[in-house]
């Protein structure tokens, strides 16, 4: 029996196929998000079925999460991304106490108790500062590939001070820095530090260790170091961070399936 987790994020759709008994991943894939989210999610799902030589009849449960979870028609049910990221991170690191998730259009800090239950969380989904969109803006302004931002930031020797906490005003500030001769790598490093500072401000107090960093922005080299510097604590990047939400959704699909089977046996 195969369970499926679908994370319909703001920038990408991620899907994981998981063996319900062993909880091993049998297939996974990522596709850029678009306007027709349901169609794209279905296309990726069908592609994974074909590539993994899996019959549709072998799929026992599908859970969707993320920004577009409510329009994924092939899902049996939906679960919030807060819960799915917590479950996905704990699958790889059971001792985690704080999860920092930075995606394309929102960011979250999730605090867990010793049993992995969510104690509380803070979420930024109203402003692009503190999200991957901020990095996209600087990449567009500097005319560089998004994938190269980490490599360029690593060359910085004097990171720029980005004072604006709004991306619209920060864009104007970046233009001024460029006009003043500030190097692109220093601006990128400054934006990374600004995002990290926004995350720390959102936390509101000291974070409990261990801290795990997940989401698509976790794949940008240097962002973990920027967070560590801002928090003053070690930050560990989650295993396959872009797939964390889908992993959590697949695990929850497996749990729901097992509970349903036990209920029928009772």
Q: Which domains, from first to last, does the chain contain?
A: 1-93+242-266 (3.30.420.40), 95-237 (3.30.420.40)
pTM of the model: 0.92
What is the mean pLDDT of the segment spanning 135-151? 92
Sign of CA dihedral 229, 173, 178, 175: positive
pLDDT of 205:
67
Question: How far apart are the C-alpha atoms of 58 and 27, rounded to whole Å?
Answer: 13
End-to-end CA distance of the chain: 20
What is the mean pLDDT of the segment spanning 19-46? 94
pLDDT of 13:
97
pLDDT of 130:
82
Task: For the chain, give the percent of residues with pLDDT over 90.
Answer: 77
Mean pLDDT of the chain: 92
pLDDT of 34:
82
Examine the pLDDT at 169 and tell me if it is beyond 90. no
The H or E element containing residue 62 is strand 59-65
Examine the pLDDT at 40 and tell me if it is beyond 80. yes
What is the mean pLDDT of the segment spanning 107-129? 89
pLDDT of 80:
96
Encode pLDDT of 175-208 as tens digits. Answer: 999 999 999 999 999 999 999 998 988 887 678 9
The pair of structure tokens assigned to 22 is: 């062993």
pLDDT of 263:
75
CA distances, 30 to each of 6, 41, 137, 181, 216 (Å): 10, 10, 23, 38, 11
Examine the pLDDT at 38 and tell me if it is beyond 70. yes
Give the model's confidence band at 150: pLDDT under 50 very low, under 70 low, under 90 confident, else very high: very high
The pair of structure tokens assigned to 55 is: 């019959």
Examine the pLDDT at 266 and tell me if it is beyond 70. no
What is the mean pLDDT of the segment spanning 246-257? 97
What is the mean pLDDT of the segment spanning 43-61? 97
Contact partners, residue 103, CB within 8 Å, separation at least 6: 9, 10, 11, 131, 132, 215, 216, 217
Give the model's confidence band at 254: pLDDT under 50 very low, under 70 low, under 90 confident, else very high: very high
């Amino acid at each position: 029996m195969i369970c499926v987790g679908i994370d319909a994020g703001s920038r990408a759709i991620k899907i994981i196929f998981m063996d319900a008994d062993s909880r091993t991943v049998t297939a996974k894939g990522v596709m850029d998000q678009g306007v027709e989210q349901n169609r794209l999610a279905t296309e990726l799902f069908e592609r994974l079925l074909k590539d993994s030589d899996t019959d549709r009849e072998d799929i026992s449960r599908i859970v969707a999460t993320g920004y577009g979870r409510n329009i994924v028609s092939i899902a049996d049910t939906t679960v919030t991304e807060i819960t799915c990221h917590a479950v996905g991170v704990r699958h790889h690191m059971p001792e985690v106490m704080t999860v920092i998730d930075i995606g394309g259009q929102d960011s979250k800090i999730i605090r867990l108790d010793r049993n992995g239950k969510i104690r509380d969380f803070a979420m930024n989904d109203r402003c692009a500062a503190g999200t991957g969109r901020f990095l996209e803006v600087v990449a567009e302004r500097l005319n560089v590939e998004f994938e190269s931002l980490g490599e360029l930031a690593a060359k910085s020797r004097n990171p720029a001070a980005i004072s604006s906490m709004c991306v619209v005003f920060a864009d104007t500030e970046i233009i001024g820095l460029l006009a003043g001769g500030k190097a692109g790598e220093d601006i990128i490093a400054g934006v990374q530090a600004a995002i990290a500072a926004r995350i720390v401000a959102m936390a509101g107090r000291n974070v409990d260790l261990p801290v795990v960093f997940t989401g698509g922005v976790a794949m940008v080299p240097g962002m973990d170091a920027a967070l560590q510097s801002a928090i003053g604590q070690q930050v560990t990047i989650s295993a396959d961070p872009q797939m964390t939400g889908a992993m959590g959704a697949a695990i929850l699909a497996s749990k729901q399936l097992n509970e349903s089977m036990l209920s029928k046996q009772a």
